[in-house]
Amino acid sequence: MRPGKLAKRFGHWLGLLPEWIRARALARQERGRFDALQAFVLFVGYPRSGHSLVGSLLDAHPDVAIAHELHVLRYVKYGFGREQIFAMLLENAAAMADSGRTVTGYSYAIPGQWQGRTRRLRVLGDKRGGTTIRKLRARPWLLPRLERRIALPLRFVHVLRNPFDNIATICLRGESRTLDASIEHYFGMVEGVAWLKERLPAGSVIDVRHEDLVADPAAELARLCGFLGVEPEPGWLAACSAAVWKQTHRSRDGVVWTPAQREEVEKRMARHPFLAGYGFSA
């Protein structure tokens, strides 16, 4: 490694030292709370696809805690220990619940449920979809390091929506990002998800279509529970189903697409089976 790069990495680690010390103290406070853990969850996918909603719904389950964008891979990269990471995730989830689980101006609070606390912690994870897949693709060695550090079965939640809506929302809410750039940005992550799926054991990734969640939230949430190995408790299902918006938003209609852009998106969608059935008119 070049001296300049080594110095930069050391500088990053040194900057995280106060957080490492604080996380160690947090882990001591939480000792014993992680004994029943059976799975660790990361989200992979795309910004503006519904990850925040799904993460918040799962965090409302009595046996699940999902932090909001702690960025687990960063802490794995810089040598934080297993229980330090776990303790920081719990702290983040509790802080998000205290703030009303508000993200980009929307509240994803589920009244009367378990956001920010747990009855018996069986599943723990972090909601940071786009960054996670980009980091794993850029640094493949992080995946085996993550597996060793966490020492639990890894489960990846892949939330997706109609690519035309997702790309349009990235364009509309991005800073100085053109539609062409948004298309490239989106499909870079799509290719990252395809790359990851090829490297993981069968059953490690679940695809959750935003449109299916809106159409039948109870069925999709029950399917997620089966994937994670927790019970789809009736009270939780009812509360979460009531919190899901009743229709999707066609963001694709808010931008002007050229025929060439639409054709390009359709062509690149066709390469990935998990995008089958989507289209501009679908």
Q: How confident is the model at residue 2 (pLDDT cuts 50, 70, 90)?
A: low
pLDDT above 70: residue 200: yes
What is residue 94's predicted lDDT score, i.e. its pLDDT?
96
Count Cβ atoms below 10 Å from residue 63 Cβ, excluding itself: 22
The mean pLDDT value for 146-164 works out to 97
| N-terminal to C-terminal alpha carbon distance within the chain | 50
For residues 254-266, one letter each, b for 16 or more C-beta atoms within 10 angstroms of the residue's C-beta and e for the rest, the string is eeebeeebeebbe
CB 260 within 8 A of CB 85: no
Can you tell me whether residue 24 is helix, strand or coil? helix
Q: State how far the Cα of 139 lies from the Cα of 142, in Å rounded to an integer.
A: 6
Q: How confident is the model at residue 84 (pLDDT cuts 50, 70, 90)?
A: very high
What residue type is 158 in one-letter code?
Answer: H
Cα torsion 222, 224, 225, 227 to 10°: value is 130
Q: State how far the Cα of 47 lies from the Cα of 92, in Å rounded to an integer.
A: 20
pLDDT tens for 3-39 read 556 556 666 778 899 999 999 999 999 989 999 999 9
Count Cβ atoms below 10 Å from residue 25 Cβ, excluding itself: 10
Can you tell me whether residue 127 is helix, strand or coil? strand
What is residue 176's predicted lDDT score, i.e. its pLDDT?
63
What is residue 29's predicted lDDT score, i.e. its pLDDT?
94
Kindly indicate whether the domain formed by 3-275 is annotated with CATH number 3.40.50: yes
Mean pLDDT over the full length of the chain: 93
Q: How far is CA 201 from the centre of its chain?
A: 19
pLDDT tens for 216-241 read 999 999 999 999 999 999 999 999 99
CB 145 within 8 A of CB 62: no
pLDDT tens for 134-145 read 899 999 999 999
What is residue 280's predicted lDDT score, i.e. its pLDDT?
96
Helix axes 163-173, 179-199, angle to 10 degrees: 130
